[in-house]
């Protein structure tokens, strides 16, 4: 059966619908969840947003972030997972008793990280469209195709998700369709300058973050003849600074803006042995997804990530540098 028809039928038959974000909420996942909450609510459904982790401070410019819950309701009819199709990014849900609530009901996965096949075992239907720059863009197209209501609040959240994952429409994954969608959103009454003002107001750096950023710049390692930038964030700094500002986006764009850098990797090391990495690439080095897949992660050619456990930090870092260097060398052959 056509996936879009399946989505239409499942949502049509359901009343209470849980919207699930992954363990690494970002502006696309939150914007997509809030957009779906608005769309489904206007369609007469009872949407309920869930994420195992608290929303980061930098996302709280999106009104409604505080409606995201860390516990699932006891009873619901189905779930929709947004912005991930990888079970490793649902680790906390998968390891909890609440998983049993999800697996018993239909589950729709809406994502745009098509480089990695969906491995969520309880997914009923998957729409993973790599041609969309964000899951928000996918939700907009799907809503138009299915005739779902698209009020201004939903469209504002969709625009926020698009701007976030497209880096302000500057990423390599931004397509002509993305610009068309943005144009339609503006024509429909979405005020982009207002959204940008809200985002900027909340993402201004506190003074401690400014000084911390200076420390990160000093610690950045430039490897592979300056084409690879790597930095490690230990648990102590994650605990201290993440409530104010996520260390990865704080430094990652600056690394990419450094002359000669083609790929930047920000590695976070946790005391429990978990290691995560955010990977971002410049054109023409579309190797992010390939590097992430080497460690069981995924994403786009220019924006990807992974998380792993069981190996010490020095081994993961060394392996990451070695494989990234190999991928960079392959670009020149």
- Domain containing 283 equals 207-331
Instruction: Give the integer Cα–Cα distance in Å for 29 and 127.
Output: 15
Same domain, 36 and 161: yes
Which tens digits make up the pLDDT trace of 153-169? 999 999 999 998 888 88
The yes-or-no verdict on residue 16 having pLDDT over 90 is: yes
Asked which of 185, 200, 215 is the last residue of a domain, the reply is 200
164 and 274 in a single domain? The answer is: no
- Say whether both 96 and 227 belong to one domain: no
Find the CATH number of the domain harbouring 190.
Answer: 3.90.1640.10
pTM for the model stands at 0.84
DSSP 118: -
37 and 186 in one domain?
yes
The DSSP secondary structure of 2-60, one letter per residue, reads -HHHHHHHHHHH-SEEEEE--SS--HHHHHHHHHHHHHHHHTT-EEEEE-SSPPPGGGT
In a 3-state reduction of DSSP, which class is residue 328? helix
Mean pLDDT of 323-332: 93
Where is the domain boundary, 200, 223, 250?
Answer: 200
Q: Which band of pLDDT confidence, cut at 50, 70 and 90, is reported for residue 203?
A: confident
C-beta separation of 231 from 266 below 8 A: yes
**Coil vs helix vs strand at 193:** helix
**What's the CATH code of the domain at 286?**
3.10.310.30
Average model confidence (pLDDT) across the chain? 93
Instruction: Check whether residue 123 and residue 49 sit in a common domain.
Output: yes
pLDDT per residue as tens digits for the range 54-76: 998 888 999 999 999 999 999 99
pLDDT at 243 over 90: no
Query: pLDDT per residue over 105-151, tens digit each?
Result: 999 999 998 877 899 999 999 999 999 999 999 999 999 999 999 99
Q: What's residue 171's pLDDT? A: 83
Residues 151 and 233 in one domain: no
- Within 8 A by CB and 6+ apart from 9, the residues are none
Q: How many domains does the structure of the chain reveal?
A: 2
* Of 167, 200, 233, the domain-final residue: 200
Phi (first) and psi of residue 268, to 5 degrees: -105, 130
What average pLDDT does the segment 253-275 reach?
95
Q: Are residues 274 and 305 in the same domain?
A: yes
Average pLDDT over residues 192-218: 89
Q: Do 183 and 212 sit in the same domain of this protein?
A: no
């Amino acid at each position: 059966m056509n996936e879009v028809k399946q989505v239409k039928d499942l949502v049509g038959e359901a009343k209470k619908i849980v919207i699930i974000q992954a363990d690494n909420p970002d502006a696309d996942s939150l914007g997509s969840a809030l957009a779906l909450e608005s769309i489904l609510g206007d369609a007469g459904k009872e949407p309920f947003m869930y994420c195992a982790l608290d929303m980061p401070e930098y996302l709280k410019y999106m009104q409604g972030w505080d409606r995201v819950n860390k516990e699932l309701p006891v009873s619901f009819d189905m779930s929709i997972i947004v912005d991930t199709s990888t079970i490793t990014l649902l680790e906390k849900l998968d390891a909890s008793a609440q998983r049993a609530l999800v697996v018993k009901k239909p589950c729709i996965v809406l994502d745009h990280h098509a480089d990695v096949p969906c491995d969520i075992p309880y997914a009923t239907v998957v729409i993973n469209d790599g041609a969309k720059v964000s899951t928000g863009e996918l939700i907009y197209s799907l809503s138009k195709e299915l005739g779902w209501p698209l009020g201004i609040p939903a469209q504002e959240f969709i625009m926020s998700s698009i701007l976030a994952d497209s880096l302000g429409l500057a990423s390599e994954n931004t397509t002509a369709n993305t610009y068309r969608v943005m144009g339609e959103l503006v024509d429909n009454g979405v005020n982009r300058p207002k959204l940008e003002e809200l985002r900027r107001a909340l993402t201004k750096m506190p003074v401690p973050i400014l000084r911390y950023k200076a420390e990160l710049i000093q610690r950045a390692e430039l490897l592979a003849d300056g084409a690879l930038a790597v930095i490690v964030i230990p648990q102590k700094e994650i605990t201290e600074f993440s409530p104010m500002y996520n260390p990865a986006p704080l430094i990652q764009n600056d690394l990419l803006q450094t002359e000669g850098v083609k790929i930047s990797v920000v590695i976070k090391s946790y005391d429990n042995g978990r290691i995560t990495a955010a990977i971002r690439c410049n054109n023409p080095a579309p190797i992010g997804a390939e590097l992430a897949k080497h460690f069981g992660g995924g994403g786009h050619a220019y924006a990807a990530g992974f998380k792993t456990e069981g190996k010490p930090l020095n081994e993961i870092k060394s392996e990451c540098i070695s494989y990234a260097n190999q991928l960079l060398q392959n670009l020149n052959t």
